[in-house]
Every structure is written in C-alpha cells, then in structure tokens.
C-alpha cells in the first residue's frame, strides 16, 4: 500500500538531525483518495456524471492517475513550469495555538498558494466553457485531490513549526487491522502526519478494497448529514479540519496533547491509546470529503443542480 515514488521526499526531512525544508505535506494514500472519489461519484447528478465521463474518457474518477495525480507531478520540472508552486497547494497553515472560526478572513501567504484558494480556483476552471480538454482534465484532477487533502486534518493545522505533524516521528502503529513497527521495512520515516495519510486509512479498510469501503461509508451517510456537510465554502471546511486536528489528531485518546519532540524513536500508537478513539473521525472526514466533492462537481458541471437542499441523486 506504500508508494515510494510519492513519499520518498520525507526521508531527508524526517531523518534525525535533518534540517527543516519546505513543508512535505503529501496526502491521503491513493486508497484514501479513491474512497473520497468513489463516494463523490455516487452522489453526482446524471448530468454531472456524464460531464465527468466526457472529461476522463477511459479513466475513472478514483484511479491513481486521476485522484492522486497532483502528488505524482509534485517536484517535476515540467509541471513546476506549467503550474508554479503547485507543491504548496496541498495544505493551508492554521496554527493550533490560535483559534479560527467561520468569520475568519483568509489572507494566504504567497499570493494564494494554499489549498483553500486552489479548490476554489480549480472548481471555477472546471466550470468554464472555453478551457481546452487537457486543461479541464487537470482542473478535475486538482479539484478531486485537493478536496480530499483538505479533509486530512493535518493538512490544515500545525504546532510549533512541526509542518502539520511531519516532524513528529512515530515509532510504531499497532491497530487491530494494520500495523507497523521498527522492524517493518518502510519507504520513508513515519510521522503523525504520515499516519493520517495512510495508516489510519488502512486500519479503516481492514484489508478490503477501496471501492467496497466507499460503498459502505456512503451508505451510512444520512440525507440530513449530506445537506449539512455541503453547506458553507472551502474555507469553512478547512477550518473544520483544523478543529479536528486541534481537538483530536493532536491528542491521545485521553485528551492529553501528543508530545512535541522532534527526535526518535517517536511515539508508539496503539488501539487503546490513540487509534480506536480517532478512527471514527478519520472515517467521517473521508465521508465529508466525498459529499463535498460531489457538491463542488455538481455545482461546476450541472447548471440545474439544486444545491445542498435539493433532492439527492438516486444511487
């Protein structure tokens, strides 16, 4: 389930004693992004679904080269030239030592090089009528991926320069369905951020296919939940993820804060002290991401879409 090509850049940053470089925020695992995309696909209006199919051709919304494509292109000169600063588009930096609410006005550093701005940008480009087929494909891939990333809590929060938890090492993860330890061969040094990118998703999947998990998670979403989650704007959703990080991802099961240490060997996460208490939040974040992605796609691709209060498409 690990992908060295996407995550090898963490090694140099998380190696003990290494210097702090640009924030290496990656993403939900490919499986996590597939789950989000598959939930969204089930909630598209017929017209939006036809538009998505026309843009993708033989590809599917949740496949690796669509939902995880923005991770694939990170660090490549070709796409840095085409989409400058795209590596910064995967996160927004909300400090957990400060409080944010829905009245907060985002003034992004770097002229909008953040996930909130980019979700809005690519939804607008996707809705445009004059873009080339290639540009619309890129817009769709960016929107799918960044909407998913926005719901990984540590893409919207940081503590004391820890780069969204990337600098907080994890020694072991002992879940009921997925585990790793110091003897496990890994492609990169594990951190609390990478645990949320991958290990929490794998624990939730329990060895099942992403499509199976997406169908299960989608079936558990009540109509009222979907309507509520679809309200607001990407900034509101990012702030919600920040609060999930502040109140849960950065805390043990008993509510105490995770350590701030940047040195090894790191934390030992178990079902009892962390994983079981945080798994419901990981599940809900994937559900929210799928519902909100469907909402954004419906808005962009179906002029007759009735919005959060309208009738949901039949499954």
Stretches where the chain sits below pLDDT 50 are 1-25, 109-110
216 phi-psi bin (left φ>0, alpha ψ -120 to 50, beta other): alpha
Report the C-alpha gap between 293 and 240 in whole angstroms.
Answer: 15
Q: 3-class DSSP state for residue 110?
A: coil
Delineate the domains of the chain, giving CATH numbers in brackets: 4-301 (1.10.575.10)
Report the C-alpha gap between 96 and 178 in whole angstroms.
Answer: 29
Report the C-alpha gap between 26 and 9 in whole angstroms.
Answer: 10
The confidence score (pLDDT) of residue 100 equals: 86
- Which residues have a Cβ under 8 Å from the Cβ of 260 and sit 6 or more positions away? 159, 160, 162, 168
Look at residues 152, 143, 128, 5 and name the one whose alpha carbon lies nearest to residue 70: 143
The confidence score (pLDDT) of residue 11 equals: 31
Is the previous residue joined to 161 through a cis bond, with omega within 30 degrees of 0?
Answer: no
The confidence score (pLDDT) of residue 20 equals: 34
The reported pTM is: 0.89
Q: Measured between alpha carbons, how far is residue 52 from residues 57, 65, 119, 133 in Å?
A: 8, 15, 17, 12
In the block, tokens 């990169």 appear at: 188
The confidence score (pLDDT) of residue 286 equals: 98
């Amino acid at each position: 389930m690990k992908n060295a090509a996407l995550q090898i850049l963490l090694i140099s940053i998380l190696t003990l004693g290494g210097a702090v470089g640009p924030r290496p925020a990656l993403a939900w695992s490919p499986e996590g992004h597939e789950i989000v995309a598959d939930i969204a696909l089930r909630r598209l209006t017929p017209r939006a679904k036809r538009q998505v199919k026309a843009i993708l051709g033989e590809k599917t919304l949740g496949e690796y080269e669509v939902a995880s494509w923005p991770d694939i292109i990170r660090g490549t000169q070709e796409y840095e030239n085409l989409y400058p600063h795209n590596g910064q588009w995967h996160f927004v930096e909300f400090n957990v030592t400060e409080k944010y609410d829905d009245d907060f006005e985002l003034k992004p550093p770097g002229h909008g090089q953040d996930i909130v701005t980019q979700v809005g940008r690519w939804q607008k480009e996707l809705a445009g009528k004059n873009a080339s087929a290639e540009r619309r494909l890129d817009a769709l891939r960016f929107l799918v991926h960044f909407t998913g990333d926005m719901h990984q809590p540590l893409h919207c929060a940081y503590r004391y320069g820890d780069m969204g938890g990337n600098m907080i090492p994890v020694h072991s993860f002992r879940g009921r369905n997925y585990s790793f330890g110091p003897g496990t061969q890994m492609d990169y040094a594990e951190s609390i951020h990478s645990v949320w990118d991958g290990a929490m998703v794998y624990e939730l999947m329990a060895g099942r296919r992403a499509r199976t998990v997406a169908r299960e998670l989608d079936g558990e979403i009540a109509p009222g939940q979907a309507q509520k989650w679809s309200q607001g704007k990407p900034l509101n959703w990012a702030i919600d993820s920040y609060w999930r990080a502040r109140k849960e991802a950065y805390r043990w099961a008993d509510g105490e804060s995770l350590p701030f240490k940047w040195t090894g060997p790191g934390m030992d996460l178990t079902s009892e002290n962390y994983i079981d208490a945080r798994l419901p939040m990981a599940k809900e974040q994937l559900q929210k991401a799928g519902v909100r992605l469907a909402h954004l796609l419906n808005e962009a691709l179906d002029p007759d879409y009735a919005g959060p209060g309208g009738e949901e498409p039949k499954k």
